[in-house]
Structure 1
């Protein structure tokens, strides 16, 4: 036996002895025993709560390594064995035997939770920078700091790239705004969303960049996702099945679906579940009947031209940012943009972490009087508004309402229901599902999604109910008809605000037209925009759309109070050129009866809100 061989054997025996592994006398430890001993000496082994075995270095970065896989513990043990045994290579059978033993060791340990990119730690948030040294940034109510070792256990994936260390170098938010082509309102909403993206324990709305071709949707999405969670593939095409989607989502904290035109029902449901927290059961590798659960809650983005192709339940989870067309003389080359973004990234992170620290400080004091669908996210927006003096909460509500209206444009049955309710007046309609199907305006050629019977009509109305409420149509299905059938009755009524909007003679659709993306106005059109809870606005931002709305039905007394005018003097758009809009909307104030915000139409306007006027 050579000296090197003897020394190698002695080292192997010592390693095995240190690890407490017994070896039969007269024989040296097997390769498998040596691999097990190396792993137990250098790594803490455990199972995650979803049943996956991991190992984490006892004296290194707080990074969990899966036992198997390309960058897992198996390959690390093979390398260490090679280094310590003068270039000898452990056999595949020895590695396989060692992994089986180590999985048993991990199963006996207390379960732990390895996090992806961001995690909570007491009152702070920890962000994994993703480098080989395991460095992180800890953001708390008193500020943020870089740390050499994370206090929280993280895991990595092959899709992740390192984040740059944040550096205070001027105002990073200003530098970010220079890289985007949205308006001030959209930019502030985006900043608030980015701040929330570093808070792991809440549902995040799906950031949706919308605009025509040439508005930079894909590049903006790539850049924004890269700020949070850099990846070699920040933009993904729509996955082909649920297993493919689960694999992508499990291995990234933030990801973007690019150029979405149509989303199948299964993917729409999967995206909704990924927003609120998802778990997908899959067969474990190398087994026939064992399973693992992929659990995740993710930060998602998408780019689209037409949001009307999306499902209604998904629309309620969107936060839309409109991008403007870039003139040719202002268009920049991608290499130039990449360089500017890479240079600005550290300062952008620093500014976002500064804002996040302030948000964490004021968040306990923030209470919402009204809670929208994404209430946790809305609370973050309210905290950002309190710190910055912005109005992102109102912008988000308007954005969510418009997104739902866009999606309902793609639902023929929903549009027919809207038309029926708008024609019914303030009392609304109460009918069975069968009567509803008979009374709604029916197209000559039934669309694919049109319900074929009363059961499907009732089910579809139930699914559309949250979206219909968003645009001002209340759906109540708590009543039953008379015996013996006791059929379920659906009561559909339009809110006073919606009736006030649809009563406008200025609308080309007439008094019976529902609120859709076509008649609510847009950034370029002259039609009416959806009014803000505090008063509508013209799509082009000039004046208040509420000025063009006629008095609601049954409001004759109000017309007399205004001096006996008719529809033309009460709000006909043709009688008020745009140059006079500013003068008409100057007198604003709360309702004199219920104190809700309202708008007085001109110097002699009625100081009551639509609800109080209608009640009178």
Structure 2
């Protein structure tokens, strides 16, 4: 909604005395700046402003540095004077009050948006004047939209960089191998991840996690930079993990893609955070400088990691969401300048391929089916629906996805001590009793498994310390154990005393 000009006094102040006329005039002038500002609120109750910038509008949070900068520079441009902190603060509070009390409810987006069934991509400063052009993608195709006609409210992070205008027929899927040195299946999975990462969600939804790994000299960091530059380019490449979970969710709230370099260690808290970010979740904490107010950060975002695969694959909840892609050693080293030049030349065509894939997905997703669908089925269906837009044969992505998940499950369970103890338990049962099953109580199972591993393992921090913790662990590794080792476990209660039990068996 556009706002009519009115003074700070209209918001509830007593009319100023004659001696306060200069102060009143200054506030009135500043409040008048809001007359051409569209004030609105997001569904979670955050005040936003859409401010005029040339032929388009920039969208920002009212309580942001960008909004303060707009008010300061606009006031100086109109009146040739600066502003006191008090006057600026009162005007921002006024704008926030109007946005929250009478502003329309709109969705803020980062880089990718969904509007009336179409997908939009914010190109950033894509034209010579730095205006905000966008790509609108429908089931019929895609086209560049002029700044004044862009419908979604795109917000930008300070580190955001522009995307080039996509070009049709400017690249082939195999061209990506110049920057991501994967085999044929790995390249298919990279394209699957790109097409999923470019899918925006108004609500719900989930993203697969891309995990790039390989020996030294396989170009992991360079591949990550290339993929980030195709989805959500940023001045912040090669990010390290933040120190606190709160900072991770703040970062997720401010950009579409989160990319982390050289991931070599991941605690339980951050592993849980990444699961929530990939599948949609939030984080709550006490608001800064308050006694009891709560800040809530929610986001569902694509994730891109490179590093040691066991960091991710050893955690079944994360492994279930990951596409683990091994990069091959580079046959020949190239200068960074040459790589950048080739990427800049191909980037518009590669982005055009992503747009072609998204258009195909919008056309095909309603009737898409996959035989024996892998985990993260919705994401796999979307990628398979998009594949014809890239000229990929039906089933190529789905087949590579299933094989990748099986390999990842096997790799994860090979380094999982509890999984190996379960295999040893059933092997022992077969040798001693001729049975491929075991029944008993939770404490009995905990004791039995602990006896089957070396003492250094049972004493390590990673080994479950109680029967209850073991039960939680078994639930996490259950899908992989069924897929790789054909081992299943069932928990239940029975008997007069309602005692709990576990049944471990080979299928």
TM-score w.r.t. the length of structure 2 is 0.87
The verdict on how the C-alpha distance between 1:423 and 1:225 changes in structure 2, with shifts beyond 3 A counting, is farther
Please say which of residues 295-304 and 450-459 is displaced more in the overlay.
450-459
**Contact preservation (8 Å) 1:136, 1:150:** yes
More strand by share: 2
Structure 2 partner of 1:99: 92
Q: How far 1:381 moved relative to its partner?
A: 3.1
Structure 2 partner of 1:50: 44
CA distance in 2 between counterparts of 1:98 and 1:308 reads 48
Q: How does 1:101-116 map to 2 (within 5 A)?
A: 101-108=94-101, 109-116=103-110
Q: Does 1:437 align with 2:446?
A: yes
Q: Does 1:38 align with 2:33?
A: yes
Q: How far 1:353 moved relative to its partner?
A: 0.9
Q: Taking CA–CA contacts closer than 8 Å with sequence separation of 6 or more, which of the two structures ends up with the larger relative contact order?
A: 2
Structure 1 partner of 2:318: 314
Per-residue CA distance 1:313-361 (angstroms, 9 max, x = gap): 111111011111123xx21111111111111111110122112211221
**Contact preservation (8 Å) 2:171, 2:346:** no
Q: How far 1:365 moved relative to its partner?
A: 1.2
The verdict on how the C-alpha distance between 1:273 and 1:168 changes in structure 2, with shifts beyond 3 A counting, is same
**Contact preservation (8 Å) 2:51, 2:58:** yes
**Contact preservation (8 Å) 2:442, 2:468:** yes
Per-residue CA distance 1:117-144 (angstroms, 9 max, x = gap): 1111122111111224221001111000
Per-residue CA distance 1:65-86 (angstroms, 9 max, x = gap): 222333x22211111111111x
Q: Does 1:349 align with 2:354?
A: no
Q: How does 1:349-498 map to 2 (within 5 A)?
A: 349-385=351-387, 388-389=392-393, 390-424=395-429, 427-440=436-449, 441-445=452-456, 446=458, 447-484=460-497, 486-495=498-507
CA distance in 2 between counterparts of 1:56 and 1:296 reads 22
**Contact preservation (8 Å) 1:308, 1:408:** no
CA distance in 1 between counterparts of 2:5 and 2:36 reads 11
Structure 2 partner of 1:608: none
**Contact preservation (8 Å) 1:166, 1:349:** yes
The verdict on how the C-alpha distance between 1:175 and 1:456 changes in structure 2, with shifts beyond 3 A counting, is closer
**Contact preservation (8 Å) 2:374, 2:405:** no
CA distance in 1 between counterparts of 2:5 and 2:110 reads 33
Per-residue CA distance 1:581-609 (angstroms, 9 max, x = gap): xxxxxxxxxxxxxxxxxxxxxxxxxxxxx
Q: Which runs of 5+ in 1 are unaligned?
A: 1-13, 496-616
The verdict on how the C-alpha distance between 1:326 and 1:98 changes in structure 2, with shifts beyond 3 A counting, is same
CA distance in 1 between counterparts of 2:423 and 2:124 reads 50
CA distance in 2 between counterparts of 1:35 and 1:470 reads 65
CA distance in 2 between counterparts of 1:247 and 1:491 reads 43
Per-residue CA distance 1:60-119 (angstroms, 9 max, x = gap): 53532222333x22211111111111x211111111111122211111123322111111
**Contact preservation (8 Å) 2:426, 2:436:** no
Q: How far 1:380 moved relative to its partner?
A: 1.5
Q: How does 1:212-361 map to 2 (within 5 A)?
A: 212-284=215-287, 287-307=290-310, 310-327=314-331, 330-361=332-363
The verdict on how the C-alpha distance between 1:320 and 1:226 changes in structure 2, with shifts beyond 3 A counting, is same
SS at match of 1:208: strand
SS at match of 1:471: helix
Please say which of residues 134-143 and 378-387 is displaced more in the overlay.
378-387
Per-residue CA distance 1:177-230 (angstroms, 9 max, x = gap): 232211111111111211121111231111011101110011101110110000
Structure 2 partner of 1:550: none
Q: Which runs of 5+ in 2 are unaligned?
A: none
SS at match of 2:105: coil
SS at match of 1:30: helix
**Contact preservation (8 Å) 1:307, 1:403:** no
Q: How far 1:369 moved relative to its partner?
A: 4.6
The verdict on how the C-alpha distance between 1:362 and 1:422 changes in structure 2, with shifts beyond 3 A counting, is farther
Structure 2 partner of 1:89: 82
The verdict on how the C-alpha distance between 1:391 and 1:295 changes in structure 2, with shifts beyond 3 A counting, is same
Please say which of residues 112-121 and 170-179 is displaced more in the overlay.
170-179
TM-score w.r.t. the length of structure 1 is 0.72
CA distance in 1 between counterparts of 2:158 and 2:88 reads 22
Please say which of residues 345-354 and 379-388 is displaced more in the overlay.
379-388
SS at match of 1:332: coil
The verdict on how the C-alpha distance between 1:324 and 1:454 changes in structure 2, with shifts beyond 3 A counting, is same
Per-residue CA distance 1:131-185 (angstroms, 9 max, x = gap): 2422100111100000013211111111211111112353242322232211111
What CA RMSD, in Å, does the superposition of the two structures yield over aligned residues?
A: 2.6
